[in-house]
């Protein structure tokens, strides 16, 4: 059974490990996974996951997980970016679960939640060179490119959708 639900306080480390695993493969990191994690931790990558309460819940947001076979297989979150604008963050799905509509279901749940919370727009930043499927999904759902607002990587793009 597949379930999309709010993350529980004791699951943040599982979610972070999943994000590292997916990022390691998606971004074709040549170093072993544990070296990648150590290097990323040293520069505070994904530090928002260490305090989901502060970075998501306290910022008018949610952090969801996709659970399959009693295991977390995906993540997705939104948080306030501006007064009526939220940001889609941390959309990650284990590769063996991709291509089954689970990323689509997660984004649809986050869009529904954002509308319920009365956000007017949702923005995101993505790396289309590495995250081709995610970028295609965003475009399919109606996200369009806007000027970058936060990223420092020259190949990243920003996107937005009117809710």
Q: Structural domain boundaries of the chain?
A: 2-120
Q: For the structural domain made of 2-120, what CATH number should be given?
A: 3.40.630.30
pLDDT for 70 equals 92
pLDDT for 150 equals 84
pLDDT for 16 equals 97
Nearest to 81 by CA among 140, 160, 7, 155: 160
- State which residues of the chain have pLDDT below 70: none
pLDDT for 85 equals 98
pTM: 0.94
**CA angle in degrees (0–180, nearest 5) for 13-109-1:** 70
């Amino acid at each position: 059974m597949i379930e999309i639900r709010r993350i529980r306080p004791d699951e943040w480390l599982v979610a972070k490990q999943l994000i590292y695993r997916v990022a390691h493969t998606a971004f074709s990191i040549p170093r072993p996974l544990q070296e990648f994690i150590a290097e990323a931790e040293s520069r505070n990558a994904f530090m928002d996951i260490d305090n989901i309460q502060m970075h998501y819940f306290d910022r008018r947001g949610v952090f969801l997980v996709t659970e399959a076979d009693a295991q977390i297989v995906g993540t997705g979150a939104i948080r306030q970016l501006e007064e009526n604008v939220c940001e889609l963050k941390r959309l990650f799905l284990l590769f063996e679960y991709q291509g089954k509509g689970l990323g689509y279901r997660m984004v649809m749940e986050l869009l529904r939640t954002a509308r319920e919370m009365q956000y007017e727009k949702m923005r995101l930043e993505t790396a289309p060179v590495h995250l081709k499927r995610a970028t295609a999904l965003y475009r399919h759902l109606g996200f369009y490119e806007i000027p970058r607002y936060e990223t420092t990587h020259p190949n990243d793009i920003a996107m937005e959708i009117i809710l």
